[in-house]
């Protein structure tokens, strides 16, 4: 498939979000096997392509769009436009409407934008098609904020604004709002599109304002700026939704953004919204956000829903049949909107959610609507199955192992059992992330590897001394031949445990109390098998139910020694601190 891209002549003089979108579409469509050509005025070769995609509805664009239709080619238009009854007099309204009428499809950045343009221009809603804006995967991996601070000599807390400097981006109102917080510096990154407006901003901002100028979109300095700032603020006159705001959101930065446009469709309750004309309101929003913690939940939502690699799939399908493909999907990614419950933010996955994550450990609390079971896969391979997730909030931990030459792993959470709505899967809240470089991660990674493919174990937890996981009354895992050394304790205190290896009883009626005790278990080689199934059967007088889980025995401090021969089987007398 060959697609021809074009935009208005001056677009890349001071490139902004629309121009980045065009470039990222081209990059990621190429990875989907779509051959994208940028229009060469001296050798346009229109007929060598199957579809023309035009990015803009600037005055003068009608002539190009009309020519494309006159030569019988399918036309897709991306206007990046938010227009209202009050503002439509500021635009070449009739020309834009004719562009939309000529186009086989108008691609918008949100359903809200589609709905608005259909209504304002009195054009059938079916003409419009949603393809969400996106971020590149590298914004999911932070760069140390010290790089940006040391490069530009910035100390202390600061508010970051990444946008071309022009009235639509409303930096002057932000400058005025921050006068209420003289301890905060304002850092602007971007091209100057309106020199007189920029000079007014710089004059009024004085020493409180630092203008850095434009940074390359793939620059480590830009990602470092997101890491270093206390708040990202984009109180624009309108946004659809602002690529920089989406990048900051993906980095977990507290985001203050305009309420005008389609920003809520992207950020849900994961951002603070402001009236762009309300100076005091902007100042208040910044004050409330400046000490807010980073949100890894935002990173997961952005990864699942808004990476270019995911959103361009919609374009590929559209190009196959621009005029007739139904616009049926609201959100292709795995998460619904972030919601708020008091001071807490949470988000429901769909029945299946897949997101890219760097190696490390994701933890927090989760729940299902009425109780259910979950599978977790890493790069498509089963890591944990039949994980019981109750209807009440309970802790979870997902370990994303390191892999050579692999910066990200694809993590999938799928609700595989349980009733509830067809749309919702699992709700995640209070999400945190442990980097793979954190002390103790290797121990956690090894423990998780042993439990992969297990049944009857609940998510790994941690106390001040160790990682551990509770089992149900019966639990199984697979082990290579060798000696397993671990500590365990029971939920009831008077339990006995039967241990089966490869279906044969290895230990019977081992007493396990409330205190941690140590076990060394020999897993002997089995003919024709790489691994053997190890089963723990917990015998106790009554069920111990915590957060909807029937608990059996907790197992921790797992260590493995490869098989070299028989060894000690049981030592129940050693207690572990």
Instruction: List the domain boundaries for the chain.
Output: 2-130, 137-303, 334-438, 451-577
Comparing CA positions, the residue from 229, 150, 157 lying closest to residue 189 is 229
Of 415, 397, 316, 312, whose CA–CA distance to 357 is shortest? Answer: 397
Whether the Cβ atoms of residue 428 and residue 297 lie closer than 8 Å to each other = yes
DSSP string, 9-72: TTGGGS--HHHHHHHHHHHHHHTTT-EEEE--TTS--GGG-SEEEEE---TTHHHHHHHHHHTT
Please report the pLDDT score of residue 529 as a whole number. 83
Local structure of 374: helix, strand or coil: strand
Q: Are 205 and 307 in contact (CB under 8 A)?
A: no
pLDDT of residue 435: 95
Task: Give the Cα separation of 3 and 322 in Å (integer).
Answer: 12
User: What is the distance between the alpha carbons of residues 117 and 103, in angstroms, rounded to a whole number?
Assistant: 14
Q: Note the pLDDT of residue 41.
A: 94
Joined together, the tokens standing for residue 322 give 């621009």
Query: What would the mean pLDDT of 276-289 be, rounded to a whole number?
Result: 98
- Burial (CB < 10 A; 0-12, 13-18, 19+), residue 341, is exposed
Least confident of 68-72, 382-386, 498-502: 382-386
CA distances from 510 to 90, 479, 488, 539, 542 (A): 81, 20, 11, 10, 17
Q: What is the pLDDT of residues 225-268, one digit of tens each?
A: 999 999 999 999 999 888 999 999 999 999 999 999 999 999 99
Share of the chain above pLDDT 90, in %: 75
Looking at residue 546, its pLDDT comes to 85
In a 10 Å sphere around its CB, with 0-12 CB exposed, 13-18 middle and 19+ buried, how is residue 35 labelled?
middle
Mean pLDDT along residues 121-139: 95
CA 485 to chain centre: 37
Q: In Å, how far from its chain's centre is CA 19?
A: 23
pLDDT tier for residue 384 given thresholds of 50, 70 and 90: confident
pLDDT at 412: 96
| Per-residue confidence (pLDDT) for residue 210, from 0 to 100 | 98
pLDDT, tens digit, for every residue of 515-530? 999 999 999 888 878 8
565 burial (CB, 10 Å; 0-12 / 13-18 / 19+) is exposed
Strands of 298-426, DSSP E:
335-341, 344-349, 352-357, 360-367, 372-378, 381-389, 394-400, 409-417
Say whether pLDDT at 569 is over 50. Answer: no
Q: What percent of the chain has pLDDT over 70?
A: 96
pLDDT digits (tens, 9 = 90+) for 76-128: 999 999 998 988 899 999 999 999 999 999 999 999 999 999 999 999 999 99
CATH no., domain 334-438: 2.60.120.260
CATH of 2-130, one of 3.40.50.2000, 1.20.1250.20, 3.40.50.2300, 3.30.450.20: 3.40.50.2000
- For 338-353, write each residue's pLDDT tens digit: 999 988 999 999 999 9
Question: What is the pTM for the complete model shown?
Answer: 0.87
**Rounded Cα–Cα distance for residues 409 and 377 (Å):** 10
Q: pLDDT of 437-450, one tens digit each?
A: 998 898 899 888 88
For position 152, what pLDDT does the model report? Answer: 97
Taking alpha carbons only, the member of 556, 413, 353, 566 closest to residue 471 is 556
Pick the most confident of 184-198, 381-395, 495-509. 184-198
Window from 243-252, 278-287, 396-405 with minimum mean pLDDT: 396-405
pLDDT at 450 (0 to 100): 80
pLDDT of residue 462: 84
Contacts of 347 (CB under 8 A, 6+ apart): 268, 270, 297, 300, 301, 335, 336, 337, 338, 339, 427, 428
For domain 451-577, which architecture applies?
A: Sandwich (2.60)
Q: How much is the mean pLDDT over the chain?
A: 92
* Size of the chain in residues: 577
Which range is least confidently modeled, 129-133, 234-238, 353-357, 381-385?
A: 381-385
- Mean pLDDT, range 377-401, rounded to an integer: 90
Q: Decide: 394 and 367 in contact? Cβ < 8 Å.
A: yes
The closest of 373, 336, 130, 379 to 240, measured between CA atoms, is: 130
pLDDT of residue 573: 35
- What pLDDT score does 559 carry? 84
CATH classification of 137-303, choosing from 3.30.479.30, 3.40.50.2000, 1.10.20.140, 3.30.9.10?
Answer: 3.40.50.2000
Interatomic CA distance for residues 543 and 327, integer angstroms: 51
Model confidence band, residue 419 (pLDDT cutoffs 50, 70, 90): low
The SS3 assignment for 226 reads: helix
Report the pLDDT averaged over residues 500-512: 93
Please give the average per-residue pLDDT across 393-401, as a whole number. Answer: 92
Q: Which among 490, 495, 504, 501 is positioned nearest to 553, based on CA atoms?
A: 490
Tokens at residue 80, please? 């990046």
Per-residue pLDDT of 522-568, as tens digits, reads 998 888 788 899 999 999 888 888 877 889 999 998 888 888 765 54
Tell me: pLDDT of 165 over 60.
Answer: yes
Of the ranges 110-119, 139-148, 292-301, 479-488, which one carries the lowest mean pLDDT score?
479-488
pLDDT in the model for residue 197:
98
Nearest partner of 298 among 274, 269, 258, 262, judged by Cα: 269
| 313 φ/ψ angles, rounded to the nearest 5 degrees | -55, -35
The pLDDT assigned to 565 comes to 60
Residue, of 330 and 24, whose pLDDT is higher: 24
Sheet holding 352-357, edge to edge: 352-357, 409-417, 372-378, 381-389
Q: Sign (positive/negative) of CA torsion 545, 547, 549, 553?
A: negative
User: CA-to-CA distance for 36 and 436, rounded, in angstroms?
Assistant: 38
The two domains 2-130 and 137-303 share their CATH topology (first three levels equal): yes
User: Which is more confidently placed, 494 or 516?
Assistant: 516
155, 158, 164, 169: CA torsion to nearest 10: -160
> Under a CB-based contact definition with an 8 Å cutoff, are residues 512 and 529 in contact?
no
Whether residue 572 is predicted with pLDDT greater than 70 in this model: the reply is no
Closest CA to 286 of 188, 174, 201: 174
């Amino acid at each position: 498939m060959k697609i021809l891209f074009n935009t208005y002549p001056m677009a890349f003089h001071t490139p902004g979000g629309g121009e980045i979108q065009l470039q990222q579409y081209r990059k990621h469509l190429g990875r989907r096997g779509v051959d994208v050509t940028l229009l060469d005025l001296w050798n346009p070769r229109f007929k060598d392509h199957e579809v023309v995609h035009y990015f803009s509805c600037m005055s003068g664009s009608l002539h190009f769009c009309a020519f494309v239709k006159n030569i019988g080619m399918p036309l897709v238009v991306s206007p990046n436009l938010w227009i209202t009854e009050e503002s439509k007099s500021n635009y070449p309204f009739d020309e834009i409407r004719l562009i939309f009428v000529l186009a086989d499809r108008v691609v918008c950045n949100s359903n809200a934008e589609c709905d608005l343009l259909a209504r304002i221009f009195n054009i059938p809603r079916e003409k419009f098609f949603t393809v969400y804006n996106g971020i590149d995967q590298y914004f999911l991996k932070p760069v140390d904020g010290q790089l940006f601070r040391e490069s530009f000599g910035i100390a202390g807390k600061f508010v970051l604004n990444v946008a071309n400097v022009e009235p639509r981006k409303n930096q002057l109102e932000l400058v005025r709002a921050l006068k209420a917080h003289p301890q905060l510096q304002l850092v602007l990154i971007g091209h100057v599109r309106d020199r007189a407006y920029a000079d007014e901003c710089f004059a009024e901002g004085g020493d409180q304002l630092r203008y850095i100028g434009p940074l390359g979109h793939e620059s480590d300095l830009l990602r470092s700026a997101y890491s270093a700032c206390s708040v990202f603020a984009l109180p624009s006159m309108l946004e659809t939704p602002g690529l920089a705001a989406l990048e900051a959101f993906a980095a977990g930065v507290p985001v203050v953004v305009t309420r005008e446009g389609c920003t809520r469709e992207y950020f849900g309750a994961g951002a603070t919204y402001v009236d762009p004309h309300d100076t005091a309101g902007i100042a208040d929003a910044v004050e409330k956000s400046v000490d807010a913690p980073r949100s890894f939940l935002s990173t997961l939502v952005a990864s699942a829903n808004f990476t270019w690699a995911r959103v361009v799939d919609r374009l590929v399908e559209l190009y196959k049949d621009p005029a007739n493909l139904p616009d049926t999907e609201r959100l292709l990614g795995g998460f619904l909107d972030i919601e708020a419950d008091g001071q807490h933010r949470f988000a429901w996955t769909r029945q299946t959610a897949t997101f890219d994550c760097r190696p490390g450990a994701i933890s927090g609390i989760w729940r299902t609507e009425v109780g259910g079971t979950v599978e977790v896969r890493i790069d498509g391979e089963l890591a944990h199955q039949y994980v019981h997730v109750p209807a009440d909030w309970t802790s979870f931990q997902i370990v994303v192992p390191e892999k050579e030459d692999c910066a990200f792993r694809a993590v999938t959470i799928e609700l595989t059992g349980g009733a509830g709505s067809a749309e919702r899967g699992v709700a995640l809240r209070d999400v945190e992330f442990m980097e793979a470089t954190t002390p103790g991660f290797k121990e956690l990674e090894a423990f998780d590897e042993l439990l992969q493919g297990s049944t009857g174990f609940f998510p790994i937890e941690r106390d001040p001394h160790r990682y551990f996981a509770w089992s149900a009354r019966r639990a199984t895992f697979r082990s290579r031949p060798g000696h397993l050394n671990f500590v365990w304790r029971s939920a009831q205190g008077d339990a006995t445990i039967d241990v089966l290896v490869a279906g044969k009883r290895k230990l019977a009626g081992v007493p396990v109390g409330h205190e941690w005790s140590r076990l060394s278990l020999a897993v002997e080689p089995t003919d024709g098998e790489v691994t053997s199934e190890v089963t723990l059967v917990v015998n106790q007088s009554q069920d111990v139910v915590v957060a909807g889980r029937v608990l059996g025995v907790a197992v921790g401090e797992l260590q493995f020694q490869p098989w070299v021969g028989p060894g000690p089987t049981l030592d129940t007398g050693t207690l572990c601190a």
